[in-house]
Amino acid sequence: MTADQSSARETFKKIAGNIARVMHGQSAATRKLLTALASGGHVLLEDFPGTGKTTLAKALARSVDASFKRIQFTPDLLPSDILGVSIFDQRDQQFHFHGGPVFTNILLADEINRASPRTQSALLEAMGESQVSVDGERRNLAELFFVIATENPVEFRGTYPLPEAQMDRFAMQFSLGYVPAAEEVSILAAQQHRHPLDDLKPCVSLSDVLALKRAVEDVRISDELKRYAVDIAGATRTAAGVRLGASARASIALMKSAQALALFDGFDFVAPEQIQELAVAVIAHRLVMEPQARFSGMTSAAMVGEILKKLPVPA
Amino acid sequence: MGATLLFWGWQTGSTAFFIAGAVMGAILESSRLFKTRWEFSDDEFGRVWTFCNVLFVAAVIFAFNDNGGPSGLSELFENFSAASEHTASNAGAMTVDAVIRWLPMIFFLFILAQTFSPADGVPLEAVFLYLRSRLKRARKRGQAVPPTRRFDASYPFFALCLFSAAGHTVEGNSFYFGLAALVSWALWPVRSRRYSLPIWIGALVVAIVAGFFGQRLFGQLSRLAEEYDPQLLSYLMRSSADPKKSWTDIGDVSRLKLSGRIVVRVQPQDGAPPPVYLREASYRELAESAVNINKRIYKQLVWDTGNTNNEFPPMTETPPESGIFPLHPESDNRSLVTIGCYLNGINRDDKYAYGVLPLPADCNRLENSRAYFVYQNNLGTVLAEGPRLMIFDACYGSGMIRDDLPNADESISNEDLEVPTNEIPAIKTVISRLDVTGKSDEEKIFAVTRFFADNFIYSLTQENLPVADTNDTALSRFLLKSHKGHCEYFATATVLLLRQLGIPARYAVGFFVHEPSGNGYVVRQRDAHAWCLVWNKKKRTWENLDTTPPSWVATEREEASPLEFLSDFQSWVEFEVLRFFDYSHNNIRQYIFWPLIPALAFLLYRIFRGSRRHKNQAKPAEPFPWPGLDSEFYRLEQELARHGLPRQPGEPLSAWLQRATTHPELSKLKERMEKILRLHYRYRFDPQGLSDLERRELRDDVKTCLALDE
């Protein structure tokens, strides 16, 4: 491991340790979140209310000494509320651009499925190309731009499911799930007097995170494992019950996040385990299932899991 | 593209080529009709390219064979002579010619592959070996594969066709206009849309017209240059001294150009002074000749051996193979000089270089000569055939001359006393001024010498004066008006004056030796000289008489380039190389090509090995040959599977090992096996792989693990 990679791994550990002080029993989710952060992808957290989605996002934002904005998505939210708006200044008779919350390092898009598709789409360009076009003018976003979106799977009324194109732009989707009872007790104990989130201090700087992203790019991956990632994505395209399979963007995201996870685990090259671990989070949300398969209880996550079992893993 | 091939077939000239061009053009253009396409991988493009190149080499070899190359070449190796060199170079030229003509056919397959492949263009890796190897290296190391750049091979092929067609053009302007039409056609799709069509066409027409007249102008310029300086041409036309004729530069030549090239090297033996005059030939008869250069007539005086001296009987080498050629029965020699000169002429009938040898007047023997044949006429001119560089020892100093005597018989016309009729008036005018009636021969000669020394200067230039009347010849202008000229004027005038005075005289050409270099002397082209031979009745011998003012040496040296030392060095290298090849006693020349053979063999080996590898790669290899599949870890896996712990196909090794080591018997091996797994993973999935040491460690660990398991 090179010095850069070692220090990058230190950064990983520091953030993970910091988050663990708030999020009890969620180390697997933390791993995935940090993996996405380091590989330059965006994350969609889908879980029931009260499982700690927002807390996890806030904990990450507090741990990194970077700017953090939060948008609460509501049905009446407009694209200009996200991107910003030019306002006429009476004094100097000119328009001035007032950047929206998208001009930040870490953006929490809370309950993203509550806003109209038009507003959701405003995030598309920002997430895909790390730039926004307002009033016909292109504005670049910060070098570190990480979107954590959350959504609630149980509600249907007053929500707008995310368009497939938007889903494809999230590198990963995962859920937190309920923690075991013992962990939950410790959460209660921690919050008896005050929320531990308030005491959280930044432990790494913005430049540390950027160095981490660069170090991830240097993690080696063999052709065989690239082929494995491609094969997994390819298998979803031909699998029965899947209407829309995973794109090449999916296999790219899988490779990049596997590189980040390898670094997290202290390797300077990618092993098949990392690909397997991330495959469901990276691929499942991109699939569109046939209605019959859906009604027979097949989910896309289960479909990817099955593919992982069937496909011979390089050993 | 099809039109270009057709054009190539037409310009190349023969029917067969025309048909070939038409067929190839039709095949290429048929791609517009048929929509069938073949998928060519980049590697296959590479192989097609290699094939075309092999075809190219084969074509070169075939053409070489066809044009008598090998025999010429082998002759060149075995029997190095100017003629075989000539044959070999001729074969080389014909080979190049034929191959250029075939070029479009050779690379047709490549362009066909591009035309019938759905890809737009050919990958650069197919053509450039360096890029190909870079790609391979990158693949092997698992680095990011550099992006393949593609190019459209049809434009280079288009240029190739035109180049090939240019080699063999049909007479006339059809090639230029055909070329212009094709190029404009090719430029049409890529024209700039910024300018309107009329402007584009106008610019194209201007370019074509400018090109046409430019090319015409170039031809005219070169013709103009030739007219300006006919000396240039006459110099080119006359490569070495002609034993039968000497074209003088007396006449319409305005300026002499003399080169400082070293043509003869003289090395006197025993520190003796060198012979001052090295004679190449002497002549008896003067005539005027008209030369037609580019439709302009130039008059020049020509010295000629005369009617009776055209025979060159061969001299016998005595004893044979000794390198000794007696030129005169008298063998009393006082001095020896080593002379090196070049034989510049190539006799088409014979196989060797030939040329006139510059010799001292009384040389009567050649020693250590490598000449194959030596001939001599009765004017003492010696012709030799042999290697291009002749080095020999000339024995001289006997005082016995080889020239025959002036005609004693009064009844036949004595060529040594003949003066051309149109020169007589001027000669007589001069003689009337000399006042030599009734004086002895010595006094007459002295008067003539004085006449030139007192009234004439040496000059390399002549004014072109308009011709006044029929008796106004170049020589009369020199004698009566300009009083200046170069050595040929002086020598010719002296000969004619003496003849008119009744003294037999001849015209001699050769070299004037005066420039020391090292412990010998060098003679340059500009030291070429002309003088006259006067018959000495008392001694019954021919004597040298040089009436040219001695300042000529200095005048000509002024013409020398300041960079002459460079050409001297080159000349020295050439001399030494030729001497090494021709005069070293071993036959090194034959062995010099031996080292080439392993080099060629290596190249062939590379090609074949490369092609075999291509074949392997071309097979749809499934499963892919991944690195590290020879890891010993698999033995461990098989062993555990035998013990009832098989791994599921989708189960990664670490998960499987975790499961396996929960087995009580294996738990003690857990740490060791995890270490093996780490090494195995690095061996398999780290593109950097394992070091030799770690590889051994993996092997040994698996062994001990298996042993423990037993």
Residues of B in contact with A265 (CB under 8 A): none
Query: Which structural domain range is residue B7 located in?
Result: 2-190
Q: Chain B: residue nearest A313 by CA?
A: B650
How much of chain B exceeds pLDDT 90, in percent? 0
Residues of B in contact with A228 (CB under 8 A): none
Superfamily of domain A1-192+201-218: P-loop containing nucleotide triphosphate hydrolases (3.40.50.300)
Q: Is residue B376 part of a domain?
A: yes
Residue B239 has pLDDT above 70, yes or no: no
Quick check: A315 and B637 CB within 8 A? yes
The Cβ of residue B253 has, within 10 Å, a number of other Cβ atoms equal to 22
Residues of B in contact with A314 (CB under 8 A): 626, 684-685
Q: Which residue has the higher pLDDT, B507 or B135?
A: B507
Residues of B in contact with A309 (CB under 8 A): 648-650
Q: Are strands A172-174 and A43-46 parallel, antiparallel or unpaired?
A: parallel
Of B348-357, B408-417, B654-663, the one with minimum mean pLDDT is B408-417
- Which among B529, B545, B560 is the end of a domain? B560
Q: Indicate the residue of A222, A227, A273 with minimum beta-carbon distance to B652.
A: A273
Does residue B181 sit in the same domain as residue B277?
no
Quick check: B139 and A223 CB within 8 A? yes
Does residue B367 sit in the same domain as residue B452?
yes
Does residue B185 sit in the same domain as residue B303?
no
Which of B685, B690, B694 to mutate to test binding with chain A, by most A CBs within 10 Å of its CB?
B685
Residues of B in contact with A222 (CB under 8 A): 142, 626-627, 684-687
Q: Which residue has the higher pLDDT, B321 or B468?
A: B321
CA pair distance B315, B375, nearest whole angstrom: 5
- Domain ranges in chain A are 1-192+201-218, 219-310
Residues of A in contact with B650 (CB under 8 A): 308-313
Quick check: A310 and B682 CB within 8 A? no
Does residue B79 sit in the same domain as residue B162?
yes
Residues of B in contact with A271 (CB under 8 A): 652, 654, 681, 685
**Coil, helix or strand at residue B623:** coil
Q: Is residue B195 part of a domain?
A: no
Asked if the A219-310 domain carries CATH number 1.10.8.80, the reply is yes
Which stretches of chain A sit within 8 Å of chain B by CB?
Answer: 220-225, 227, 268-273, 276, 308-315
CA pair distance B185, B183, nearest whole angstrom: 5
Query: What is the pLDDT confidence band of residue A255, given thresholds at 50, 70 and 90?
Result: very high
Q: Is residue B572 part of a domain?
A: no
- Which among B560, B592, B615 is the end of a domain? B560
How much of chain A exceeds pLDDT 70, in percent? 100
Q: Indicate the residue of B626, B627, B685 with minimum beta-carbon distance to A269.
A: B685
Q: Indicate the residue of B652, B654, B687 with minimum beta-carbon distance to A222.
A: B687
Residue B203 has pLDDT above 60, yes or no: yes
Residues of B in contact with A223 (CB under 8 A): 139, 142, 624, 626, 687
Does residue B521 sit in the same domain as residue B656?
no
Does residue B257 sit in the same domain as residue B342?
yes
Residues of B in contact with A311 (CB under 8 A): 649-650
What does pLDDT average to over chain A? 89
Best-predicted range by mean pLDDT (B317-331, B537-551, B587-601, B612-626) = B537-551
Q: Chain A: residue nearest B650 by CA?
A: A309
Does residue B115 sit in the same domain as residue B260?
no
Q: Is residue B201 part of a domain?
A: no
pLDDT score of B70 = 53
Of A147-161, B85-99, B568-582, the one with minimum mean pLDDT is B85-99
pLDDT, tens digit, for every residue of A84-125?
Answer: 988 999 999 998 889 899 999 999 998 898 998 888 888 877
Does residue B384 sit in the same domain as residue B246?
yes
pLDDT score of A43 = 93
- The set of residues, in sequence order, having a beta carbon less than 8 Å from that of B322 and lying 6+ positions away, is none
pLDDT score of A254 = 94
What does pLDDT average to over chain B? 75
Does residue B255 sit in the same domain as residue B182?
no
Q: Chain B: residue nearest A266 by CA?
A: B678
pLDDT, tens digit, for every residue of B278-323?
Answer: 888 888 888 777 666 555 666 677 787 776 666 777 887 777 777 7
**Coil, helix or strand at residue A46:** strand
Is-contact B384 B350, C-beta < 8 A? no
Residue B86 has pLDDT above 60, yes or no: no
pLDDT score of B226 = 58
Between chain A and chain B, the number of residue pairs with CB atoms below 8 A apart is 67
pLDDT score of B616 = 43
Count of domains observed in chain B = 3
**What ipTM was reported for this prediction?**
0.84
Q: Indicate the residue of A222, A308, A310 with minimum beta-carbon distance to B685.
A: A222
Is-contact B341 B358, C-beta < 8 A? yes
Give A188 to chain B, closest Cα distance, Å: 34
Give the torsion through C-alpha atoms of B348, B350, B353, B354, to 10 deg.
-100
- Which among B544, B560, B576 is the end of a domain? B560
CA pair distance B153, B114, nearest whole angstrom: 7
Quick check: A310 and B627 CB within 8 A? no
Q: Are strands B505-512 and B528-536 parallel, antiparallel or unpaired?
A: antiparallel
Is-contact A281 A29, C-beta < 8 A? no
Quick check: B647 and A315 CB within 8 A? yes
- For residue B121, the one-letter residue type is G
Does residue B158 sit in the same domain as residue B263?
no
Give A232 to chain B, closest Cα distance, Å: 11
